[in-house]
Amino acid sequence: MDKQSEVARQLKLTRSQALFQDAQELLPGGVNSPVRAFRAVGGSPVFISAAQGPYLYDVDGNRYLDYVQSWGPMILGHAHPKVVEAVVQASKRGFSFGAPTQAENELAGLVIDSVPSLEMVRFVNSGTEATMSALRLARAYTGRNKLIKFSGCYHGHADMLLVQAGSGVATMGLPDSPGVPPEATSNTLIAPYNDSAAVEELFRTYPQEIAAVIVEPVAANMGLVLPLPGFLEKLRELTEEYGALLIFDEVMTGFRVALGGMQEREGITPDLTCLGKIIGGGLPVGAYGGRREIMEQVAPVGTMYQAGTLSGNPLAMAAGIATLTELRKPGQYEELERKSQLLGEGMERVLHETGLGLQFVRIGAMFCLYFTPEPVIDYACAKTSDTARFAQYFWYMLEHGIYLPPSQFEACFISLALDDTMIEETVNHVELALRSFL
């Protein structure tokens, strides 16, 4: 350890530890979502009391640069003034009506105008609801039952999708979830991510039975795995050839890798798209949408039933409108890309100079550092990462005021609130952390 590392402050987490002890008597594992429990990195989770701009503040008074950003939504930074004001004003008019509002029209218009494949959308309350509903719609539209998903891709916790899922399931070491009956997943077919030949073989085996292929166009729930050249294009070709629908799960990548998501960036038009996170500005929200002829199968126009008491919630709509309005201003995505490139150049320099042979992956305002020497192209590759070494890295960064996802199998996020000095500070601490491993 060199002298610079001596400035590392020992975190005092007394209050967080006490709260976690209490929480374990009240909530399963002390949390309301598994990855928050810090089991993948050891120790007790940090309890957050507030957030502002690029920073999180915990209950013990520690401050952190935030690269989790509520797992993606806070692309403008925390408590952005325009978003706060929009939510405050909306709250004064009422929290929920169970009836149509003008705000739903406005946000739908912004989303449709931004995402190339969308002609109609339906708002729901989460990414899980969005993917579950999109797959039900695909089955209704095609009259088929089988679907293809990819190992390590997480599309929410609906029964039919909890097969070789990534994200929290990977973190907890559970390949499938107890409580999911075999019949719920009997029509779910699995292929390795980036393996279009495996997908083609599934279509040849079940040429008239596959309703849809659902894919994260960038797999962001097993770390961050980019599509190999031609992979997404081949999925589009195969689904068209066999009469199946192509569903892009852009809950993570939507409005983050580009205004129009990965489909804009790659120039590929899926039949259905699932969205969430950023379109609610941090409030609970999801959406699915696509071509008009498909979406008109949804009740009350069509017969595919899907409903939600809080769908289109006025506060979520207000936060989403304010967030997308800011993101649609000229130069915002160019600035995000510049920040991401600055971080990426620093990280690549550190990896080159340390010679540790780790894998740094970046696209748009997302990145991941894998503790494995080989390129990561699928779930099997991701699982070769040294999770114990990642845990060391995580705690070093946390002690130096940088909050990363507490799992090797999660992506990190960049916000517009981060300035160049903060990014350089982050790279410097990454270098010190990695040099401590030499």
Region for residue 156 given its phi and psi (left: phi exceeds 0; alpha: psi -120 to 50; beta: otherwise): left
Q: Which residues of 78-95 are buried (b: 16+ CB within 10 A; e: fewer)?
A: bbbeebeebbeebeeeee
277 is catalytic: yes
370 is catalytic: no
* Residue found under tokens 């992506």: 411
Catalytic residue among 249, 288, 339, 403: 249
249 is catalytic: yes
Catalytic residue among 146, 149, 277, 383: 277
Catalytic residue among 154, 242, 333, 370: 154
Q: Give me the active site residues, please.
A: 154, 249, 277
